[in-house]
Amino acid sequence: RGGGQRSGGDGPPPDRASDQQLTAVGLAGELLAYQWLLERYPTQVTEACWVSRNRAEAFTGDPGRDDLGYDFAVPFKGGTVMYEVKATTADAGEFQLGESEVRTAQENLRNNNWRLLVVTHALDRQRRIRQLRNPFHPKSRGDYTFAGKGLRLLYRAD
């Protein structure tokens, strides 16, 4: 990411993509992830496996939901595996998880049923898809660094 200089006006800072750009990269990442999943699991993956709202850009019918905590749900004999897709136009190394993604990842921290698909260079031929383990899984310790200023918590007052 990045960009040249800006002189006044509204919009994101030069080093931050606009919401429209982020949406386009996210859609591209999910399209690539769908193809990746189809290639690896052709008997399990159908259009019904794509459950996020981005599915409406590729298929008619179910409009999808963005509050599930994952973008794809692939059924296997041992249970359903959920895939959350994160995409970037560069060599990432960093991503954010939303509230529903954190919740679903934590609910599945003891199994291998929630995974990340990270798509780097989503808009060019250098693209790469990496499958990463749930960051909350005990075996993931050391694989991730929780970066940021903290964790926002809500509590119930007595």
Model's pTM, two decimal places? Answer: 0.85
The confidence band for 94, taking pLDDT boundaries of 50, 70 and 90, is confident
Chain center to CA of 46: 19
pLDDT reading at 75 higher than 50? yes
- DSSP state letter for 19: H
Average pLDDT, the chain: 88
Closest by CA position to 132, among listed 142, 124, 121: 142
pLDDT reading at 25 higher than 50? yes
Q: How many CA atoms lie within 13 A of 91 on its CB side?
A: 1
Residue 109: exposure state from Cβ atoms within 10 A (0-12, 13-18, ≥19): middle
